[in-house]
Structure 1
Amino acid sequence: MIIIAFFGAVVFLYNKVNNHYVDLGEDASPPMKLHPIVEKKKDKLLEKTASIGIDVVITEKWRSNERQNKLYAQGRTENGNIVTHAEGGESYHNYGLAIDYAIRNENDTIIWNISYDGNNNGEKDWFEVAEIAKDLGFEWGGDWRNFKDYPHLQMDFGLSISQLQSGLRPTNEDKKEE
């Protein structure tokens, strides 16, 4: 546990020194749209997947705390399957740092089957999209150990939910493209 705390402190200080985030304070309002870098990388993802014959549909972007709470209730106090373990304010969607995707087939039907191979290249489209997204800097929910969230992509910029809740926000500068 001490090692994790130490590593977290090192990342925090590195980001602070390199101006990867700004501290807006505890009273900071969460953003109401995607972070500009996430928006740019989302567009690049759509462009790259289209070039290999995969029609990706972005099904969720920024999400309000109210919407997040409704999704959290699903499978608990409301009908449906559990789709999230995060309540309002506990999701990277609430800070404009996450998107969800699905695949659309040639009949304009949204495909949620992660084994689907619509471009017929012998690879699962969902995993092809995830690899492209990871190359662009996204973290994929399909790689998580406890709760596989295959549609989910996020860019946390080294910030935890707790740090975002306390008012830290990533800057709009993409250091990787300088």
Structure 2
Amino acid sequence: MKVWQRRVIGILGVGGGAIGIAAVTSVVAQQHNPIEWLFSLIFAALYAWGLWCGVRMLEGSPDAERKNLIFWLVQVPVFSSPVLGYFFANGFHLTVSVQASPLNFNANFFLGSTFTYSLLQSDKPWILGVNLFALGVALWLVRVMRRLPPNNSSKPTPLRGAA
């Protein structure tokens, strides 16, 4: 992996995670229901995980690519229904979705971190979507991981033995 690529993914993780934690903190201050606090705590943990993954990527830690792959895959699905809804984006998102009734197609992008959840809200429509940016990063990380040396590190292996 090139240094600039590692930096971009790392900065998105660190910056997006920090912004996300700040966003969750501001939302929690306005909530009064313990269930809402629980959901906010889950999203705060996801943003903290993203911050950690970003730091690992910036440091060039072994297995940073695999950890980041899982983190970016968590951001791919977008869905909403009267029963449950979920959307999580860290750093940037480019999302496309389709709403069932009335039929509606939507595209959205945002530089920053955002999250949405719903639980047992009968007024929520059926929506299925994909965060194309997160999917692209995940597919790119898979490609990078296939090229890694067997020790699973993107750092160059030092030469050993007598010259």
TM-score strictly above 0.5: no
* TM value normalised by structure 2: 0.29
* TM-score, normalised relative to structure 1: 0.27
Larger Rg: 2
Q: Which has the higher strand share?
A: 2
More contact order relative to length (CA 8 Å, sep ≥ 6): 1
Bigger helix fraction: 2
